[in-house]
């Protein structure tokens, strides 16, 4: 009797969930199955599977968590100073829109077809010293409202190819560029290998690419071959550049929300880091279910502020952004929960793009109300020089930056050698 009631309640909430989805932001929801999954008890012997089942139940038994309206945390609102800087003004405008519950239709939503909205003239009118911005910065501003770039190489079945049994526990999403084949191959042969680890933990990998500049040789055919052969490339139609990394991040969020939302955890990182996959899995399995749902962990940069020197790679003009940065996880590599993909993406529609991708990610998490957690296993600034080729020194680490493809192979083989005694 109680069972039937529970079932009826579930069906009802599920229907509500669906109705809400289709009437709200027009977001495509592919993985509604999470909302419908009646949790089946998983009987397995080892500890890792039970932990995993507990972590999974946390996400599958609460369909409501998928439909919370977009709310932006008070912390974030407080952190955005009222200022005449361009980004601040855009942010305050979007917050007002959100608060007024203005419906953003698909047509009005920031999208690729609206890129022309940011004309040079408009920017010159709004930013008095726009013409003295570095050329790449002006390019960034011209593309700042452009989202959802067309996808050129897709892997829509990446996470669903093997049904329920194939559920992704950890998805590696690695920022790469077309010419970095050697780095991708080293990752495929080592820490990014797609396989099932002990306890049935399935690891999958995608590489995130834009297009190379027209000054570079055309690698298109080679990429198509690589994508077909390995099935792990995602490429969007935008030019690779440092200031376009936020766009890449956002395109990935959208893709993962549509095609890999059942992944328990996402690792976002660069193609020149070395990751100790087993240490990552051990750490993830140790998490309490509550924590596993709201994870954002890495090497945390806190109390940082914009660099105002135009020659610095991370230069941010005063007339573009005012204020400090929220605490954020260094973009070399960090982990977050798959259940946050959708909230993050929806909320990002109300946060203007920022030219530094990991700062932007920090902003989105702050707006979501999640504080990043520091973990000393993430060594984005590398370890002592004398330990860099030492497999033992890497055993308890999660990530080090940076390693060449050759060093990556040597380290991986060393760490997995039966002859290794530490």
Ligand X SMILES: *[C@@H]1O[C@H](CO)[C@@H](O)[C@H](O)[C@H]1NC(C)=O
Q: Locate all alpha helices (DSSP H) within 32-160, ordered by sequence.
A: 33-36, 47-60, 74-79, 86-99, 120-126, 135-143
Please report whether residue 140 would count as binding ligand X according to CB under 6 A.
yes
Site track for ligand X across 318-337, x = CB under 6 A: --------------------
Q: Which stretch binds ligand X (CB under 6 A): 181-189, 234-242, 319-327, 360-368?
A: 234-242
Q: What is the CA radius of gyration of the chain?
A: 22
* Of the residues 16, 126, 139, 148, which one makes contact with ligand X according to CB under 6 A: 139
Q: Does 23 bind ligand X (CB under 6 A)?
A: yes
Q: Is 32 in the site for ligand X (CB under 6 A)?
A: no
Minimum CB–partner distance for residue 301 and ligand X (Å): 22
Q: Is 243 in the site for ligand X (CB under 6 A)?
A: yes
Separation of CA 340 from chain center: 9
For residues 307 and 381, which CB has a smaller minimum distance to ligand X in the complex?
307
Tell me the β-bridge partners of 274: 400
Query: What's the burial of 388, exposed, middle or buried (CB within 10 Å: 0-12/13-18/19+)?
Result: middle
Contacts with ligand X, 83-102, as mask; x by CB under 6 A: ------------------xx
Q: Which of residues 143-162 bind ligand X (CB under 6 A)?
A: 143
> Residue 230 is encoded by which pair of tokens?
């390995």
Could you say whether residue 354 binds ligand X (CB under 6 A)? no
Binds ligand X (CB under 6 A): choice among 55, 176, 244, 261 = 244
Q: Which is nearer to ligand X, 176 or 379 (CB)?
A: 176
Q: Is residue 239 at the binding interface for ligand X, with CB under 6 A as the rule?
A: yes
Alpha-carbon span 266 to 245, nearest angstrom: 17
Which residue number has the CB closest to ligand X? 241
In angstroms, the CA 343 to CA 364 distance is 10
Q: Does residue 221 bind ligand X (CB under 6 A)?
A: no
Pairwise CA distance, residues 76 & 73, whole Å: 5
Residue with tokens 């700062």, as numbered in its chain: 359
* Cβ partners under 8 Å of residue 335, min gap 6: 265, 266, 267, 268, 280, 284, 295, 296, 297, 298
Residues 100-129: x where in contact with ligand X by CB under 6 A, - otherwise, as a string: -xxx--------------------------
- Nearest Cα to Cα of residue 190 among 169, 208, 168, 172: 172
Contact residues toward ligand X (CB under 6 A) are 23, 101-103, 136, 139-140, 143, 238-239, 241, 243-244
């Amino acid at each position: 009797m109680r069972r039937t009631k529970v079932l009826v309640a579930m069906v009802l909430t599920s229907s509500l969930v669906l109705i809400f989805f289709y009437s709200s932001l027009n977001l495509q929801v592919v993985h509604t199955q999470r909302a419908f999954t009646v949790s089946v008890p998983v009987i397995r012997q080892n500890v890792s599977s039970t932990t995993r089942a507990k972590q999974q139940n946390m996400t599958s038994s609460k369909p409501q968590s998928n439909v919370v309206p977009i709310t932006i945390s008070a912390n974030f609102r407080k952190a955005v100073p009222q200022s005449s800087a361009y980004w601040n003004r855009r942010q305050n405008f979007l917050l007002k829109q959100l608060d007024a519950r203005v419906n953003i239709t698909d047509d009005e939503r920031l999208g690729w077809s609206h890129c022309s909205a940011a004309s040079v003239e408009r920017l010159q009118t709004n930013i008095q010293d726009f013409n003295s911005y570095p050329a790449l910065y002006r390019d960034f501003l011209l593309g700042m409202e452009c989202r959802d770039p067309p996808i050129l190489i897709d892997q829509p079945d990446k996470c669903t190819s093997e049904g329920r049994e194939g559920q992704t526990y950890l998805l590696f999403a690695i920022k790469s560029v077309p010419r970095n084949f050697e780095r991708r191959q080293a990752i495929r042969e080592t820490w990014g290998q797609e396989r099932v680890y002990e306890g049935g933990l399935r690891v999958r990998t995608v590489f995130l690419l834009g297009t190379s500049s027209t000054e570079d040789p055309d690698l298109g055919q080679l990429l198509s071959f690589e994508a077909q052969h390995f099935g792990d490339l995602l490429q969007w139609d935008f030019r690779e550049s440092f200031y376009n990394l936020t766009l890449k991040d956002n395109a990935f969020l959208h893709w993962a929300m549509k095609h890999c939302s059942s992944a328990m955890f996402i690792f976002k990182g660069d193609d020149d880091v070395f990751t100790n996959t087993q240490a990552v899995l051990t750490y993830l399995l140790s998490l309490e279910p509550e924590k596993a749902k709201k994870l954002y962990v890495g090497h945390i940069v806190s109390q940082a502020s914009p660099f105002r020197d135009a020659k610095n790679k991370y230069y941010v003009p005063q007339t573009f952004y005012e204020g400090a940065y929220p605490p954020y996880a260094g973009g070399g590599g960090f982990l977050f929960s798959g259940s946050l993909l959708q909230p993050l993406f929806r909320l990002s529609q109300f946060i203007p793009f920022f030219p530094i991708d990991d700062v932007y990610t920090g902003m989105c998490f702050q707006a979501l109300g999640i504080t990043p957690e520091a973990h000393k296993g993430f060594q984005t600034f590398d370890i002592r020089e004398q330990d860099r080729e030492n497999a033992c020194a890497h055993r308890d680490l999660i990530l080090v930056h940076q390693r060449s493809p050759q060093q990556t192979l040597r380290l991986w083989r060393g760490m997995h050698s039966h002859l290794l005694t530490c």
